[in-house]
Structure 1
Amino acid sequence: MPMPACRSALLFLMILPLGACMSAPRAVDALPEDASPRTEAVAKLKDGLTGDPVVAAPAVPVVQFTGLGLSQVSKQPGASTNEKRLMAIRAARMEALRDLTEQIHGIRINSETVLRDQVLRSDSVRGLVEGEIRGARTLRITPKGSDSFEVVLALDPDTVAYILRAARQGG
């Protein structure tokens, strides 16, 4: 029978390898089986940013993040049709930027439901998207019919990683 000091050392040596094998949960391990390649890329990107800095992050397939924005020409302010078109393109671009921001930083949802005497009196839902986007590229600006424009913007995964690192460091 080993002595008490030896027993503690044996116990420590038996537990040490278990602790060394355990690591923080990874986003890729939580993915559903039917996850899209884009979802897998986001999970791998997250693991690369929050993982052990000593271990190299796995190679992330190049997946482009895209934001889509649509806007109607006739609803825009402006003295001429050309002015209204330019404003519609600008509005569609802002909507595409909001779409990218939501994908990268997420969306905060606030909701309130009011019941009086077990009768619904009001129900409101508010979404807030907040974040910073840098390096968005315009892929295309397409007229849709005679009264709308579609704008598609893109960000590369490396740019998304940069944005997330900057957000975590406070700017």
Structure 2
Amino acid sequence: MQRVYSLLVDNTPGVLSRIAGLFSRRGYSIDSITAGVTADPRYTRITIVASGDEQILEQIEKQVRKLEDVIDIKVLEENRSVYRELIMVKIRANASQRSEIISITEIFRAKIVDVEDESVMVELTGAQSKLDAFLKLVNGYEILELARTGITGLSRGSEGVAFID
């Protein structure tokens, strides 16, 4: 089972390392982790996707909550949250293949961010299922490079938002 956690933490040196270290020390599995400063530069939002049984996932939440830098932790439930991931894919494409790849890109509302003589670079943002479907369609082409950011997300609405003075 997977669970998505949204952490609001102090933006201090080493905070990501301390959180990842807790997972490492306890033997917990991190499927993805993303971090970025919030609208207030004193704080960072970290999104962690973790796997395990119910007991392990509850322990993760309890252990992370105890960390000094952690201000708030929320479980992002799928039906009450919005998740997104970004991929960038460099695909080998000659002139005749380029139009096929552009068509697929348009269907998925992706962006072509770079075109070279023998390749096209595509940027796509969305739910994991959308990204996986895109990758399945371009699987017949040679993928030269692929980068995925991992999931980031927020809960819907304003209920339960951690407001900091």
Asked if Structure 1 and Structure 2 have the same fold, meaning a TM-score greater than 0.5 normalized by the shorter chain, the answer is no
**What is the TM-score with the length of structure 1 in the denominator?**
0.24
**What is the TM-score with the length of structure 2 in the denominator?**
0.25
Larger radius of gyration between Structure 1 and Structure 2: 1
Tell me which protein shows more strand as a share of its residues: 2
| Bigger RCO of structures 1 and 2 (CA < 8 A, at least 6 apart) | 2
